[in-house]
Homo-oligomer: A and B are copies of this chain.
Amino acid sequence: MCCWPKYGSSIPNAISSPTALCEVGPLKASRLHIPTLRQTPADAELAGHALLVRAGFVRSSSAGLFSLLPLGVRVIRKIEALVRREMEAIGAQEIMAPTLQPEGLWRRSGRYDLFIPPLMKLRDSSGREFCLAPTHEEAVSELVGFDLRSYRQLPLLVYQIERKFRDEIRPRGGLIRAKEFLMKDAYSFHADRDSLEETYRQVLAAYMRLFEACGLECLVVEGETGSMGGEAAEQVMLLASCGEDRVFRCDTCDYAANASCAACRAPTSTPERDTMGEATVVPTPGARTVEEVCGLLDVPPETLVKTLLYESGGRFYAVLVRGDRELNETKLEACLNAPVRMAEADEIERITGAPVGFTGPVGLPEDVVVLADQEIRAMVDFVTGANIAEAHLVAVDVGVDFEVDQYADLRDAVPQDPCPRCEHGLLTVTRGIELAHLFKLGFQYTEPLGVRFSGVDGRERPAIMGCYGLGVSRLMAAIAEVHADERGLTWPQPVAPFDAAILLLHPQDEELYRQAEALEWELEGRGWDTLLDDRDERPGVKFRDADLVGYPWQVVVGKLAKEQGNVEVRARVGGAEVVCPIGEAADRLTELARQDG
């Protein structure tokens, strides 16, 4: 645990630079702005966010927008330092790209009107349109493309730690999902796929080291590519019951995936029994939903096939899933490699000849493509819409009554599904907070934005790209969600606002004040980022605040100090505690911390 090794640098770190200390002395709580609150804020949905507000780290500015108070900035600066350490260790170089980005740049990638959530757009006084960057694939591609000439400049890994903007319609969870947030985004450019794979692995390993330093146990899961596009994506998830994301994990192997893209195993393709007879129209007046039809016909929903009509790229698709399943639009879009939209009621009537609720795959116009979830392959004699108002077909069979143009994995996974990877595992579901998202983008941006280089053979080609996002302000919020107890926050030391707090219970006593200050100097000299709580407050307030803020180590200079010259040295978490003379406190703290780490 504990402090980073000492080193010489011409870049001073001002927060605890000795120059600053020489002039103002170590930091005193009486001079710092650490406004703690007694009450839990009414609008805090998450326990960790409520603690960040109560303990004086964060204030809400308006919906989805936050300010950080000095303690919050200290945590962010420590996270940033960890991020920079890990990124520099793998050869990443820091850049800064603008937040305001011209419309034309985003038109070149084709995302200007398609990005989800929609871009925040504005015009300047000369009428030019800009968006506020929610991510920087376009800007960084343009920047790198400007100077890229030769394969000798590759691979190139650049990153920045900057604010991003997303027009979240229902921002929630405090800093977990804000409209404006701090993100570390990295982008890599490569001459070949092996190089992308290597850098991708290095970045993922760096992220895992970082999360470990933050005291977070994380899981790498398959993720959707979404608005980023590209070829493959993974997310790093912190498993937490308050998380917005649902994650499927195998109970046997290490398969894990976001619910939005968890794969479903293909069933054995042979139906379990033979077909029983010919498809027949049955009247189903007023029964449009799976539930209504099953109730009317007294059949279980897994014997029914839902037919959903979608449009994509000007074509219509009839998409079939079993009655008890949900279609997964992410998988449908991946299957078609294009965005999709559900057909409108009037389009359904025009194409099927029947109102919404009675669509089926039998007798559709020839230009409608029939896509079926792979489970349909194992079904016989199923129920489906008849394309006739108030009627369904029973005993329908593929190959007999209609043809499927393509089978694919198109449904949402559900708990207890067989694992798509191993033989015997079953999937379970859990909740998580996305901490990082990594993408293999391929030529998605480098081709349209002209990020090209001359290869060893002298031929010019586009670079292969990867991108790697990591939520910095979200990371602080996620740590607060899992590192807390009934008394307050319990920061892991590398990201704590201070390493240690000296609780001086009787600051009016000049001799004790002098001794406490000497201890603070000694701890600072040993690399401990230390706060002296010298406020004119009751001891109970100091104990309560120290636990609420969550300083990992506390040294109590109280009655014992006056009477016997002893202080209490204790850990915020785990109960380690020793009583020792104040002159030995720094040694004992160092020992305790060594045992702890």
Contact = CB atoms under 8 A, between A and B. Distances in A.
B77 A10 contact: no
A465 to B, nearest CB: 15
A415 B315 CA distance: 75
Contacts of A82: 12, 14
A76 B98 contact: no
Interface residues of A, number: 100
Contact of A33 (B74, B98, B121, B153): B153
Nearest to A60: B146
Interface string A55-66: 010010110011
B5 A19 contact: yes
Nearest to A182: B96
A212 B161 CA distance: 29
Contact of A15 (B84, B99, B102, B179): B84
A8 interface: yes
A159 to B, nearest CB: 10
A500 B534 CA distance: 44
Given A66-B98, A529-B10, A90 B24 contact: yes
B35 A147 contact: yes
Contact of A98 (B12, B61, B132): B61
Given A32-B93, A67-B98, A15 B9 contact: yes
Contacts of A84: 13-15, 17
Interface string A133-167: 00000010011101100001100101010110101
B525 A24 contact: no
A169 B147 CA distance: 29
A88 B9 contact: no
B18 A5 contact: yes
A97 interface: yes
In the complex, the count of this chain's copies comes to 2
Interface of A is mostly: mixed
Contacts of A89: 19-20, 23-24
Nearest to A76: B96
Interface string A248-262: 000000000000000
Interface stretch (A122-130, A193-201, A221-229, A539-547): A122-130
B88 A24 contact: yes
Interface string A70-104: 10111011100111111111110111111111100
A304 B13 CA distance: 62
A211 interface: no
Contact of A167 (B72, B83, B125, B144): B125
A493 interface: yes
Given A67-B143, A95-B68, A163-B99, A9 B20 contact: no
A128 to B, nearest CB: 8
A95 B70 contact: yes
A297 B458 CA distance: 78
Interface of A: 2-20, 23-24, 31-33, 35, 56, 59, 61-62, 65-70, 72-74, 76-78, 81-91, 93-102, 105, 117-118, 120-122, 124-126, 132, 139, 142-144, 146-147, 152-153, 156, 158, 160, 162-163, 165, 167, 169, 179-180, 493-494, 499, 524-529, 536
